[in-house]
A and B are shown apart, each in its own frame.
Chain A
Amino acid sequence: DTEVTQTPKHLVMGMTNKKSLKCEQHMGHRAMYWYKQKAKKPPELMFVYSYEKLSINESVPSRFSPECPNSSLLNLHLHALQPEDSALYLCASSQRTGIRSGNTIYFGEGSWLTVV
């Protein structure tokens, strides 16, 4: 089972709203990731969590706030977003960080976010 589950699949929010994206995996993976993908572009890394601790923040604006409540869950809290933040947000996981043979990143189906 290599499943990463993301909810909601679609989200429309206003610029003053506060919302959250949720991600769950039950593969026992200890590394979890948020990526952002705009249309016709490759995924871009936002955050990496390793053993529930934030290990990489790719200079993401503070209006995006990640949270890792436990080893299976990863949230992305959204507040005061801009229309240009509209994108597909991908959650992913791997057994640990240090991507190499035997430690592949698996992606969820993504959450489509539209900021109006």
Chain B
Amino acid sequence: DQQVKQNSPSLSVQEGRISILNCDYTNSMFDYFLWYKKYPAEGPTFLISISSIKDKNEDGRFTVFLNKSAKHLSLHIVPSQPGDSAVYFCAASAYAGGTSYGKLTFGQGTILTVHP
């Protein structure tokens, strides 16, 4: 049962344009969402996150949008740069109120390629 899904295995974008990476989830208990970027042979690097009480969070070129009713989030990168080429993972966490939980559930990842 895949609770976090990234349905696009890959995305190709021209430098300077917008990259939009999508993520869907099924578990309504998820209340915190993160995006990680991963280069080959390296560990995931934290990019940006959003709590379920918000619908948008922005950090520089990166903006994450959350649509709770649709159980959908997206990462926008504007403008895209060749150095952004990597695998992007969406991840979600459920905080079982009163019980600390340390589990991140990851999507399958989307390979972003930004062409010069």
Which residues in A have some Cβ–Cβ distance to B below 8 Å? 2, 4, 6, 31, 33, 40-45, 48, 50, 55-56, 90, 92, 94, 96-101, 104-110, 112
In Å, the complex CA distance between A106 and B34 comes to 11
* Pair B104/A98 contact, Cβ less than 8 Å: no
Q: Are B89 and A101 in contact (CB under 8 A)?
A: no
CB of A100 within 8 A of CB of B31, answer yes
Select A97's contact among B43, B100, B109, beta carbons within 8 Å: B100
CB of A56 within 8 A of CB of B51, answer no
Chain B interface SS verdict (over half): loop
Residues of B with Cβ closer than 8 Å to A?
31-32, 34, 36, 41-46, 49, 51, 89, 93, 95, 100-104, 106-109
- Say whether B100 contacts A107, CB under 8 Å: no
